[in-house]
Amino acid sequence: MAHRRLATVRFYFSFNCLKINLNMTDCIFCKIINKKLPASVEAETKNVIVFHSIAPVSTYHVLIVPKKHIKSFQDFSPKDKDLFFEMVKIAQKVIKDKKLSSGYKLVINGGKYQAVSHFHWHLLGGELEDKNDILNQT
């Protein structure tokens, strides 16, 4: 009986590892992080990478991405608090280095508005593409 339970646990464990690996293998941001896909990298730390969007909506548009595969904002947990603050610090550094302090947006998309299922912030600066968008008027 105990042997069977152990086998079930092992199966469950390997199934979940396989699932995690499949998710990461399919994820374009994980491929960028693992240098399997090219990107225009703006900045990088041990746990966070910043690269330019391939579909910019402003004259300056980068994505701030944790290297750990976290699916969405809703999947952040207290154990990721140091990672979250590392993202804050690199965002502050890019805003300072690129002289964006006079006008920038830091945006989190979720659900149907999130194009890639790997959590990221959009840092927008300079001139926005769609000035009529209600979010661009506030």
d(CA 53, CA 95) in angstroms, rounded, equals 16
Quick one: 31 or 105, whose CB is closer to Zn ion? 31
- Contact segment (CB under 5 A) with Zn ion among 44-52, 83-91, 104-112, 115-123 equals 115-123
Find the binding residues for Zn ion in span 50-109 (CB under 5 A): 69
Residue number of the CB closest to Zn ion reads 27
- Count of residues binding Zn ion (CB under 5 A)? 5
* Tokens, residue 21: 């690996």
Is the distance from CB of 118 to CB of 29 less than 8 angstroms? yes
Quick one: 23 or 136, whose CB is closer to Zn ion? 23
118 sits near Zn ion (criterion: CB under 5 A): yes
For 94, residues 6+ apart whose C-beta sits below 8 A from its C-beta are 42, 43, 50, 62, 64, 100, 123
DSSP letter for 8, please: H
* Tokens, residue 95: 């805003």
- Contact segment (CB under 5 A) with Zn ion among 9-17, 29-37, 54-62, 85-93 equals 29-37
- Contact segment (CB under 5 A) with Zn ion among 24-32, 36-44, 57-65, 77-85 equals 24-32
Q: Is 27 left (phi over 0), alpha (psi -120 to 50) or beta?
A: beta
By the criterion CB under 5 A, which residues form the site for Zn ion? 27, 29-30, 69, 118
